[in-house]
Amino acid sequence: MFIRTENFRSFRRLYPIITIIMAIHIVLFIGVNLFPALLHLTAGINFYIGSGEYWRLVTPIFIHESFPHVLFNTFSLFLFGPGLERILGKLKFILGYIGAGVIANIATFILQGPGYSHIGASGAIFGLFGLYVYIIYARKELIDQQNSQIVMTILVLSLVMTFVTPNINILGHLFGLVGGAALGPIILMGKRTRY
């Protein structure tokens, strides 16, 4: 489930949504580094969200400024997204990914001050983990024991890193996780087949 053996062509065919999101990450990473005004227009700046620029609850999910940041989040999506895109299907994967990211960004807006700003796909990535947690505890028939253990181990390590790494939107990570788990019952309603 988490070992990637596909070539580029088969990966694109099997996981088109993840391929598109990864491409968006890369294109926008290049864009914000070539055109800094793009970063200012898309970052989750709480003051501007409070002034009615609500697109900033969505756009930060796709924006990264540093190479390690875009690399880590895109690689995490590459590893952990395909299993969920296969389980959920394209539309429900999009709803889960963006929905959890928006929940994380709303929580950041409500709980952080107006001067706070943030970017990155981490809230949405943690949303994928939240969906996996829901599957592990409420829909065990959709994932086997070995993959459940992998998910929970990586999740624990990711949570530890959230609290020890500087300049991390801790609330974004935590509410992305909660958001993904909360969306799980809705997104997985009626799903019967195993990955």
Q: Which of 107, 19, 115, 101 is nearest to 60 (CA)?
A: 101
Q: What number of CA atoms fall less than 13 Å from residue 51's CA on the CB side?
A: 7
What distance in Å separates the CA atoms of residue 10 and residue 19, rounded to the nearest whole number? 11
Of the candidates 25, 69, 118, 173, the residue annotated as catalytic is 173
The answer to whether 122 is a known catalytic residue is yes
Q: Which DSSP helix (H) or strand (E) runs through 183?
A: helix 170-187
- Tokens for 90, please give them: 């394209």
Of the candidates 64, 69, 76, 122, the residue annotated as catalytic is 122
* Radius of gyration for the alpha carbons in the chain, expressed in angstroms and rounded: 16
Using an 8 Å Cβ cutoff, are 107 and 175 in contact? Answer: yes
What's the sign of the alpha-carbon dihedral 135, 121, 1, 19?
Answer: positive
The answer to whether 40 is a known catalytic residue is no
What distance in Å separates the CA atoms of residue 135 and residue 100, rounded to the nearest whole number? 15
Q: Which residue has the tokens 């294109």?
A: 27
- Tokens for 7, please give them: 């070539």
Active-site amino acid positions = 122, 173
